Amino acid sequence: MSRVKLIVGNWKMNGSFAANTTLLSALTAVPAVKIIVAPPFVYLASSYAQLTDSTIELAAQNVASEAQQGAYTGEVSALMLAELGAKYVIVGHSERRQYYGETDALVAQKCLRLQEAGLKPIICVGETLAEREAGQVEMVVSRQLKAVIDSCGIDLLAQAVIAYEPVWAIGTGKTATPNDAQAVHQFLRQLVTIYDKNIAEKLSILYGGSVKADNAASLFAMPDIDGALVGGASLIANDFLAICHAANASYVG
């Protein structure tokens, strides 16, 4: 089945009011492509205001795991993000797993909070270089995904997006070959099929890790690659739009 391509711009800890205004005003809708941008928390409200008349949707980059309110200094809850206009939240990004010690269990707990608030998780999974070299890719990504399914139930995936992001490809300029990425995407879809075939067929599985205008088309040509989670290239309007146009070109209706 053909799924509409989804391109998510993960701005990470980048941007300023001035830079965001310029970037967002340069982003235009692209046919057959759904576009989401994920600014830092503090820019969600201003980005939402700027995108009022746009089909571009908003994601947050993180969410509190424990509760929707209470004594959790420095945290931002799912309900607060929903109030700010976010529709999606990135969870389990490898930078959070690596630098902030986020475990599979914590990622699953964050997904529960999103479920309560009616927000859609963009669940990141992916192996390190050492894990790939040890032949553990399928073991790692299935462990990461099953932790979420076990806590939240398979129905969550009817509302969710999965992003396969090999850790060694993020921000390094190294991309998985389209065939290597396709193999993991197919594996993930088959894993979900075991639980629910209908959800698996509709599920968007994005690739992330050094996606650029010049490698996007070959990735999007793969049957189980439904779009991209884009870091660095999402900060430059022309580069990001070129990736969106490559997604549109690959759409077969």
Site residues for ligand PGA per CB under 6 A: 10, 165, 170-171, 208-211, 229-233
CA 176 to CA 132: how far, in whole Å?
11
Q: At its nearest, how many Å lie between ligand PGA and the CB of residue 150?
A: 25
Is 93 marked active-site? yes
Which C-beta is closer to ligand PGA: that of 210 or that of 250? 210
Q: Report in angstroms how near the CB of residue 245 gets to ligand PGA at its nearest.
A: 17
Please identify, using beta-carbon distances, which residue of 139 and 236 lies nearer to ligand PGA: 236
Closest distance to ligand PGA from the beta carbon of 208 (Å)? 4
Q: Distance between CA atoms of 207 and 212, rounded to whole angstroms? A: 12
Q: Which is nearer to ligand PGA, 79 or 243 (CB)?
A: 243
| Nearer Cβ to ligand PGA (61/182) | 61
Residue of 57, 93, 95, 102 marked catalytic: 93
| Cβ atoms 192, 160 nearer than 8 A | no
Between residues 43 and 207, which has the closer beta carbon with respect to ligand PGA?
207
Q: Is 165 a catalytic residue?
A: yes
Say which of 95, 102, 127, 165 is annotated catalytic: 165
Rounded to whole angstroms, the maximal C-alpha distance in the chain is 50
Write down the least CB distance from residue 35 to ligand PGA, Å. 15
Q: How far is the CB of 174 from ligand PGA (least distance, A)?
A: 9
Residues marked active site are found at 93, 165
